[in-house]
Structures are given as structure tokens and as C-alpha cells.
Amino acid sequence: MKNENEILAKISNLLLDRTGIFIRENHLPALKNKLNRILRDWKLSDYEELYNILVHDDYSEKFFDVVNEISVNVTDFYRQFEHFLFVRDNFVPEYLKINGQPWKIKAWSAACSTGEEAYSILMSLLDGFHRMNVNKYAVKLVASDISTRALGTARQGVYDLERVKEKLLEEEGLTRYFQKGFGKNEGMVKVKDFLQKPIDFIRLNLNEEIPFSREFDIVFIRNVLIYFSKEKQGEILSRICQTMKTGSYLFLGYSETARDLSLPLEYVQPSVYRKI
């Protein structure tokens, strides 16, 4: 067997080439732990055998099994809640003032993980309309992720009750947007149908061509750019800007920035930008 670290580096580079995900050297031990689970599940003898499968299978289900395993699906409802307050209290009133009827908003959650972010965006928009006493509107939301496993959870829309209840922006949100489970589902809630229908959950690799053009009013791409190299971050954000309408808003993670990149964006507040 070749040097173990050399094979891990080759797997890391393969993931970088195909997904853009940059695994830093100090993260290799964590990668090793995750790959060990795959070795056991697939009954493989070593990392070299795994690498040979991945390099020859290209974008097969096995490759995305590995992506699912290494993807960090840390999320929550209204995570970084200031962004959702901005959507509800700033974006919606501004949109209604600037745009004539019919009001049609399209949003994109570009790394939606298990769905909490996508549902939070939609709930914030609906709460904003409710506060403005607006009843006639149309909202569509695209929610994408590279992890098929995370998308499966997102489409189901079933979550732990206590986890949802403690995160909601408005107390009425629990009864407005969720159904409580009973019997074997007690302690769980399910997103109501009317909240699921406007959302299209799709698998999308941000390292590849993005199939949208100048159509979004809001784009969330939060806490994912940190997994890409600086050069790749600029490339991804440049492509994302091409999907946004003039005057639309971009939301990044608190530790991410677009201020040092030559992009058609103006700074609004920490981690919030406007397309110009």
C-alpha cells in the first residue's frame, strides 16, 4: 500500500477537482475518520482501493455517497437570525414599494443542507407580507445542495419540535407553518404543505455551471464558501451574481465576505450585499 497520507491527499484533490471543496491539511484527520466509515460499509481494505473506485466511477452514486459523508450539514431554523429579520422587515417593504403588482418573488438557498434555511427564508417572506397586510403575491424558492442525503431530509420537512420551537421568530409560527406529530411521531413537527409547495429542492454542485440567469431577488449562500479556496470563492460568487436581478440581495455567512472581490455588489451590512 502506498503512503496513507499520499492516498488521502489524492482523494482530497479528487474532491477538490469535482466539487471545489478544499480540504485543508489540518482537516485531513477528520476526513480520515469519515472515510473509515465508508471503508467499513463498503468492505474495502484501504484508502487506495476507495480512491480507485472513485477515480474510475466519476460522478456515480458511490462518489456522492462520499460527498454525503464528508459534507458538513450543520444548520438550524433562522440561523444567523438577523438575516431573516432583514428579509422580513427590510426586503419585503422595500420590494413592495419599488415593484408594482403582481408581486412575484424568487429566492435561492444555494447550500440548503437539510432544509431549515430554505423554510426559514420562505417563512420570513410570508411573515413580511402578513405584516404589510398583503394577501396577493407569489413566492418561488429554489433550494440546492450537493448532498443527496441532506436533500432527502429537506424534502420530508420533518424536524424535532423543541428544536423548531426555540428558534422561531414569531410565536404564532409554530401553528402557522407546522403540524405536530402524534403517537409514534410525538415530539416531531412537519412543515405544512403550503410551505413545501413553493420550494424546489435540487442537487447542485456549485463548482459546475449554474443553470439560472438574472432571476433571483434573494440569494442565500452561507457558511459554505469557507470550504473553497479564495480563488474558487471568487469564481462561485461571480457566477451567483449572474443569477441575481439588479437590486437583489446576497446573504453570506458571518465569517465570509465579498468586500475584497471585484463583483457588482455593494455592502449593506455585515454579510449582506446588494447587486448593482
Instruction: State residue 120's pLDDT score.
Output: 97
Q: Is the pLDDT of residue 59 over 60?
A: no
**Higher confidence at residue 133 or residue 59?**
133
pLDDT category, 58, cuts 50, 70, 90? low
Which residues, 6 or more positions from 249, have their beta carbon under 8 angstroms from its beta carbon?
86, 91, 217, 218, 219, 268, 272, 273, 274, 275
Q: Is the pLDDT of residue 2 over 60?
A: no
Instruction: State residue 196's pLDDT score.
Output: 97
Q: Is the pLDDT of residue 73 over 80?
A: no
| Assigned C-alpha cell, 236 | 462561485
pLDDT category, 1, cuts 50, 70, 90? very low
Instruction: State residue 27's pLDDT score.
Output: 72
Mean pLDDT of 21-45: 81
What would the pLDDT profile of 159-213 be if each residue is shown by its tens digit?
999 889 888 888 889 999 999 999 999 999 999 999 999 999 999 989 888 999 9
R_g of the chain computed on alpha carbons: 20
